[in-house]
């Protein structure tokens, strides 16, 4: 099956700093989503981005499908950005869109 | 904004007991899923459900697990005889088609 690797595993930032999170995947995908898991465990949809670039406020994401990676950019980080960021992908073929998750990047933003 | 809702938010059960986790997917969605996340680990796929039948299941989804869509709105996950290692956060998700999946807030299951 598809392998998903996220880096870095942990990231500590000062409030106001920018960061880039990376997601590499091992095969072609027809779905790629970024999630933020908040301290209560909820998975919050950030982006649905199987290819291209999207922006939503201070967050943006880019997926280069041909090179099998995606990047999540967080600008001017805030303490509320803390949590775990997951990348998840679904491949072509027989799967019914089942998402395969990476291990996540744990982000801590210090005031 | 439509959302996936799960109940209960937290359930504590005795080992060996049966539990049913409930989900109400987004109303016009066609694909339904259960995932689980053991504390501190990544989210893992359990089962997908489409057109009133299981379309795919992982090796985690053994005979102790079953899913059902008993009416037009609910989607349930049953664990027949819970084990300590079933303690996890269980997420329900739904999808309209070849689009993004939306996740519920999760049910934290604790088996004691």
Return the exposure string of B10-31: e unless at least 16 CB atoms fall within 10 Å of the residue's CB, then b: ebebeeeeebebbbbbbeebeb
CB contact under 8 A, B48 and A98: yes
pLDDT in tens, B37-77: 999 899 999 999 999 999 999 999 999 999 999 887 899 99
Chain A environment of B100 (Cβ under 8 Å): 31, 33, 45, 48
Neighbour count for residue B37 (Cβ, 10 Å)? 21
CA proximity to B3, closest of B24, B30, B33, B22: B24
Q: Return the residue of A nearest to B5 by Cα.
A: A42
Task: Give me the residues of A, 37-96, that contact B with CB < 8 A.
Answer: 40-43, 45, 48, 86, 88, 94-96
CB contact under 8 A, B44 and A101: yes
pLDDT in tens, A69-100: 999 999 999 999 999 999 999 988 666 689 99
CB contact under 8 A, A41 and B43: no
Strand-strand pairing, A10-14 and A105-110: parallel
Q: Calculate mean pLDDT across residues A41-69.
A: 96
Residue B92's pLDDT is what? 98
Q: Are A13 and A110 in contact (CB under 8 A)?
A: yes
pLDDT in tens, B86-95: 999 999 999 9
Q: In this complex, is the C-beta atom of A28 within 8 Å of any C-beta atom belonging to chain B? A: no
CB contact under 8 A, B31 and A96: yes
Residue B34's pLDDT is what? 98
Q: Return the residue of B nearest to A94 by Cα.
A: B56
């Amino acid at each position: 099956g598809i392998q998903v690797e996220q880096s870095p595993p942990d990231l500590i930032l000062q409030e106001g700093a920018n960061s880039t999170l990376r997601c590499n995947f091992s095969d072609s995908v027809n779905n790629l989503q970024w999630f933020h898991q908040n301290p209560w465990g909820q998975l919050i949809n950030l982006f649905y981005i199987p290819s291209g670039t999207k922006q939503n406020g201070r967050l943006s994401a880019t997926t280069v499908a041909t090179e099998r990676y995606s990047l999540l950019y967080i600008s001017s980080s805030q303490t509320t950005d803390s949590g775990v960021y997951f990348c998840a992908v679904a491949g072509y073929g027989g799967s019914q869109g089942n998402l395969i998750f990476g291990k996540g990047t744990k982000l801590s933003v210090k005031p | 904004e439509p959302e996936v809702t799960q109940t209960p938010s937290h359930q504590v059960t005795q080992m060996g007991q049966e539990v049913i986790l409930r989900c109400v997917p987004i109303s016009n969605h066609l694909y339904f899923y259960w995932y689980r996340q053991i504390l501190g680990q990544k989210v893992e796929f359990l089962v997908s459900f489409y057109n009133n039948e299981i379309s795919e299941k992982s090796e985690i989804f053994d005979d102790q697990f079953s899913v059902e869509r008993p009416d037009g709105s609910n989607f349930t996950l049953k664990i027949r005889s819970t084990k300590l290692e079933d303690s996890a956060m269980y997420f329900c998700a739904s999808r309209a088609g070849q689009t993004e999946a939306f996740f519920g807030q999760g049910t934290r299951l604790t088996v004691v």
